[in-house]
Structure 1
């Protein structure tokens, strides 16, 4: 891998997200009208090779590649009301990325979660639905990655990713924490322990944890 190829990918991805993402919502109709920028970016991503030994390069590349591929998948089936309306969206459709033919699920579960124990991935991989954490209007970059992961995790856990009911001593959280419970309860921690690492107003440990349903409507502007 030439470093300049990877840097060019990050720069162009940054430009793309800035142009087409506002407050976590994606301008799919604009991208659909003019697809050349997205297709060029996907073409660049196809030729890049990253090694997990260079963890920040590797993680930043695959996070951006995932988020771009979700947009590509929705544009290829535009218009759509939800990624779930597209058969095989996560587990059958493949993208040519990083020298592989790979599905969205493979990026998330094999290349990221399977290689690194880091629950913060769940706050930056955006599946094209309103219930996902919001897409940021910039690229994830190797030099800023840890800070970006922390920022997005804090935003989610101090925002509408959870709902606290003091009277009922209950906290309702996104179903992401149910689906990936093992990621949020590593090393003997509870989900509430994980939440409190990033939350300003701590949740008391005796609160009951429930999950609210995921909103699968497409995250369009």
Structure 2
């Protein structure tokens, strides 16, 4: 009888341990907590954009320089919280666009004053790195990354939405305007469409008539992106331009103005 009771006690004890071990494994470690966290808060960056970027998308870099610690606080948060599969697609795209644009601002500040982002290339003392876009000057998670990695290796590769070209701003006058608010997942579609409309109807960046269209070099550089999913350059221009073009419209491309997009 004692032997039976002892076995019962042993069985009950084993069950207690098993149940509690199972419960323990459901407790998330700090690393898991980061991995499954909600999308990052872009409010710091949003405040800086509203303060130092005007309605034309021109940047007060001196103003950003005066609050560089705040920008770096935001970038540190971006760096420590890469997107996960638990985020919506729009939250992921918004994160990467904000990261590209914010790190571009930081790159300019690292070398400020500068007349053009292209001038930074000659200052980079890294073997085989000749452009600022190829310099891996920041990290996302544990991975060293460049602006090219974000644009070509992440956004263009993984998300198949040509509208990103209306949102990524490489600090040049011919770029689309830098939006003076952060991109967010819940507003992303409206923000990208607004960027497209602004870009296509700005005669300094796309001069369009029914007979002749002098388009941004973006439509030449990324012609493959515009033609994906059975679309065309004509389709994307007409989606946003108030003046429509057709197959008979003579299309050429404007010279790109690399001067700094500074106020």
TM-score (norm 1): 0.92
Task: Give deviations 1:162-187, integer Å, cap 9, x for gaps.
Answer: 11245xx2101011111101011223
| 1:160-199 equivalence runs, <5 A | 160=203, 161-166=205-210, 169-199=211-241
Which structure has more RCO (C-alpha within 8 Å, separation ≥ 6)?
1
Between 1:102-111 and 1:22-31, the stretch displaced more is: 22-31
Query: Which structure features the higher share of strand residues?
Result: 1
Q: CA deviation at 1:50?
A: 0.6
| 1:18-57 equivalence runs, <5 A | 18-22=50-54, 23-51=56-84, 54-57=88-91
Query: Which structure features the higher share of helix residues?
Result: 2
Q: Distance in 1 between matches of 2:99 and 2:229?
A: 29
Q: CA deviation at 1:98?
A: 4.4
Q: Alignment RMSD, CA only?
A: 1.6
Q: Distance in 2 between matches of 1:41 and 1:186?
A: 34
Q: CA deviation at 1:32?
A: 2.0
Contact 2:100–2:150 (CA<8 Å) still a contact in 1? Answer: yes
Q: CA deviation at 1:119?
A: 0.8
Gaps of 5+ in 1: none
2:168 is matched with 125
Aligned length: 216
Contact 2:227–2:233 (CA<8 Å) still a contact in 1? Answer: yes
Gaps of 5+ in 2: 1-33, 122-130
Contact 1:65–1:97 (CA<8 Å) still a contact in 2? Answer: no
Structure 2 residue 109 is matched with structure 1 residue 75: yes
1:14 is matched with 46
TM-score (norm 2): 0.78
Task: Give deviations 1:128-164, integer Å, cap 9, x for gaps.
Answer: 1001000011000110001111110111112233112
Between 1:138-147 and 1:89-98, the stretch displaced more is: 89-98
Greater C-alpha Rg: 2
